[in-house]
């Protein structure tokens, strides 16, 4: 019997990482998306309502998060009539290994008047390409690829704009994750699409901040690079989150050079091949 993959299993208030949550930067640490997903889950479960929805979600990854059982803590910093502020942290034993914050805003009517918006449509993968990939696998895209999208990261190792169509797995085994949790995990990949160049990814992100105008319409979504700046080993990146209805969020990240552990497309392709082989064998 097989079970659907997830990033954590849960026993009471303790979350045990699975192998799917491990980082490529270090085998004994957690990847960014699971960390963000677990913290987003806490925010949504305790503070979101029909009226108050996430407008900003920020995670400071001030250290590598060890791949050990963790707990999540949060507190309501402010509860106003239209603005709700939350602080959230991830703990391993007595140590805080990641901090975050969220801003929830109350829904209301749109004000009158017209505001400038970019009219560029974000590219969607063709239906046949999306149908061909299994659960938990992603599509990579770049302006420098003839067909736009493929499952092979090495085919997009160029210096053009990058994007990714993301199919994350649930945060916790046995639970159905929400679009907000999936968006938090996708937004964490801002560093990937903005810092990915001709020789792979040479920066490791130290934070991510995601702002929302609305929640995504489903659990699959795209992230596309909007800009990259870097000098003296410090990078700033911006990306846009979008779904079939268009853009719904903007992400920013800061990152440090990590050239001694550069992640190249071949490493991601090898991981993809392994996952595909396991899926084909029923594991």
- Residue 59 included in any domain: yes
Q: Is residue 118 part of a domain?
A: no
Return the closest-CA partner of residue 195 out of 270, 267, 256.
Answer: 256
Residue 1, classed as helix, strand or coil, is: coil
Q: Report the predicted TM-score, pTM, of the whole model to 2 decimal places.
A: 0.93
Please determine, for residue 243, whether its predicted confidence score (pLDDT) is greater than 80.
yes
- The Cα 106–Cα 188 span in angstroms is 24
- In terms of Cβ atoms closer than 10 Å to its own Cβ (0-12, 13-18, 19+), residue 118 is exposed
Residue appearing with tokens 């410090």? 234
Task: Specify if 211 maps to a domain.
Answer: yes
Angstrom CA distances, 230 to 136, 207, 233, 234, 263, stand at 31, 15, 7, 5, 18
Instruction: Assign residue 258 the CATH number of its domain.
Output: 2.40.160.210
- Provide the pLDDT for residue 93: 86
Residue 264 belongs to a domain:
yes
* Rg, C-alpha atoms of the chain: 18
Judged against a pLDDT cut of 80, whether residue 2 lies above it is answered with no
Residue 76: strand pairing partners: 86
The answer to whether residue 174 is domain-embedded is yes
Q: What is the mean pLDDT of residues 214-219?
A: 94
Contact 39, 98 (CB under 8 A): yes
Residue 222 pLDDT exceeds 80 = yes
For residue 206, the SS3 value is: coil
Residue 173: what are its φ and ψ, rounded to 5°? -60, 135
pLDDT digits (tens, 9 = 90+) for 18-70: 999 998 877 799 999 999 999 999 999 999 999 999 999 999 998 889 999 99
Q: Where are the alpha helices (DSSP H) in the chain?
A: 32-47, 127-131, 179-187, 190-194, 265-281
Distance, in Å, from the CA atom of 271 to the CA atom of 30, rounded to the nearest integer, reads: 16
Q: Are 168 and 33 in contact (CB under 8 A)?
A: yes
Higher pLDDT: 258 or 254? It is 254
Tens-place pLDDT, residues 168-200:
899 999 999 999 999 999 999 999 999 999 999
Residue appearing with tokens 């208030």? 13
Q: How far is C-alpha 144 from the geometric centre of its chain's CA atoms?
A: 23
Which of 52-61, 127-136, 171-180, 239-248 has the lowest average pLDDT?
127-136
pLDDT score of 237: 98
Is 113 part of a structural domain of the chain? Answer: no
Please name every residue paired with 201 in a beta bridge, in sequence order, or none if there are none: 196, 263
In a domain, 239, yes or no: yes
Number of domains in the chain: 1
* Inter-helix orientation angle 179-187/32-47, to 10°: 150
pLDDT at 118: 86
CA angle 253, 18, 283 (to 5 degrees): 120
DSSP line for 151-184: S-GGGG-SSS-EEEEE-PPPSBTTS---HHHHHH
- Binning pLDDT at 50, 70 and 90, where does residue 1 land? very low
Domain limits at 238? 8-107+125-281
Residue 263 domain-assigned?
Answer: yes
Backbone angles phi, psi at 83, to 5 degrees: -130, 130
């Amino acid at each position: 019997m097989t079970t659907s993959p997830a990033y954590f299993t849960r026993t009471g208030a303790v979350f045990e990482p699975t192998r799917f949550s491990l980082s490529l930067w270090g085998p004994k640490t957690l990847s960014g998306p699971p960390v963000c997903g677990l913290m987003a889950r806490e925010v949504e479960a305790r503070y979101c309502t029909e009226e108050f929805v996430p407008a900003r979600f920020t995670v400071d990854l001030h250290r590598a998060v060890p791949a050990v059982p963790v707990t999540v803590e949060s507190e309501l910093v402010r509860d106003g009539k239209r603005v709700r502020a939350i602080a959230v942290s991830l703990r391993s034993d007595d140590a805080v290994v990641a901090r975050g914050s969220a801003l929830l805003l109350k829904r209301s009517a749109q004000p009158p008047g017209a505001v400038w918006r970019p009219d560029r449509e974000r590219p969607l993968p063709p239906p046949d390409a999306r149908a061909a990939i299994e659960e938990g696998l992603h599509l990579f895209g770049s302006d420098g690829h003839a067909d736009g999208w493929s499952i092979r990261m090495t085919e997009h190792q160029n210096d053009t704009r990058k994007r990714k169509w993301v199919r994350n797995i649930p945060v916790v085994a046995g639970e159905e994750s929400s679009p907000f949790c999936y968006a938090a995990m996708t937004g964490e990949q801002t560093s990937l699409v903005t810092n990915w160049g001709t020789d792979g990814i040479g920066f490791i992100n130290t934070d991510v901040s995601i702002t929302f105008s609305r929640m995504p319409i489903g659990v699959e979504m795209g992230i596309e690079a909007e800009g990259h700046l870097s000098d003296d080993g410090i990078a700033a990146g911006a990306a846009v989150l979008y779904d079939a209805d268009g853009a719904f969020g903007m992400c920013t990240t800061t990152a440090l050079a990590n050239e001694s552990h550069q992640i190249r497309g071949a490493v991601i392709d090898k991981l993809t091949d392994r996952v595909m082989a396991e899926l084909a064998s029923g594991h």
